[in-house]
Structure formats: structure tokens, C-alpha cells
Amino acid sequence: MVKIEARAYGPDSTEEEKQAIRDRIRIRPDGIVHWDEMPVGGIYHLTLFDEQFSRLLEPGRQYGMIVNLTGVGRPNAAYRDALRDYMTSIHDRFYHIAIVTGKGPLINLSAKIVVSIWNLWNFSLETTYQDAEDKLEHVLRKQASVAQ
């Protein structure tokens, strides 16, 4: 098993590294997508994440997503721009995106700034994975009660 290092990866990555990056996007049977962000943001890994999303997500289905930013460094401007464009292109596939930031106030502030630029309406910032799962469950319950 390949250990992901705190560096940007590129097209010269080994096949094992590429697969380890793709595997950071996974889906549970209940439709919750887990996105474990890379320790160092790089534009190339978004291409691999997109391949994984294309493989895992069924057309027309809505999903919940937990984005894990714990242990992630501050992204550079090029990566923030690429991430914004990418999230803008896929966010309508998700009924809610719960972003796990950990307990660091600087990461929370950075995440709020980045996400506010995306102009998303369906997101929340959570401290832990459990908080994120609870939020997605709450959103699903709320949607079910509105649908009745």
C-alpha cells in the first residue's frame, strides 16, 4: 500500500500512487461520498478525483458528501481556483456537503473563505467526521419531512 506524502503529485506519479489518490474518494452503500483531501493540494490530483467521481457516481442520483480537510495545508492560489471551478461543476450532484476541518480556527476561517467563493448553498463546516455524518442525517430527515 502506498503512503500519500505531503507533496503535490503530478502525471509522473506511479500507477500505485495514482490509485492511492483515486482511493481517497469513496462511496458508502447509503450514498455518502467521502473525500479525503490530499495533504498538499495539487491540480493534477483533481483530475484523478474526477476520474473516481465519474466511476462511482450514478447519473441523476443525489449524494451527501463529507470532505475531510483535517491535516491539510493551506492551498495555493492556483489550486484554490481549480478547486473552486471543480466544486462549482459538481456541487449540484450533492444534497449537502459537510466539510470536516478539525478544531483549528485558522483552517475553519480558510475553509469559510474558500467555500464562500464557490457560491454554494448546500454546505456546512463541521469539526469531526461524526458531526458531518450527523449533519447529513439531519439534512436527509429534513428533506424527507418536506417531501411528505
Please give the model's pTM, rounded to 2 decimal places. 0.89
Q: 135 φ, ψ to 5°? A: -65, -45
pLDDT grade, residue 39 (50/70/90)?
Answer: very high
- CA nearest to 128, candidates 96, 101, 106: 101
Rounded-to-10 torsion of CA 15, 20, 26, 28: 110
Q: Read off the pLDDT of residues 42-82 as tens digits, 9 standing for 90 and up.
A: 999 999 999 999 999 999 999 999 999 888 888 888 998 89
Domains of the chain with CATH codes: 15-147 (3.40.525.10)
pLDDT grade, residue 84 (50/70/90)?
Answer: confident
pLDDT of 105 reads 65
Task: Show the DSSP H helices in the chain as ranges.
Answer: 15-22, 43-56, 77-90, 105-118, 129-147
Mean pLDDT for 79-95 is 89
Q: Which residue has the higher pLDDT, 71 or 21?
A: 21
Question: Where does residue 148 rank: exposed (0-12), middle (13-18), buried (19+ CB within 10 A)?
Answer: exposed
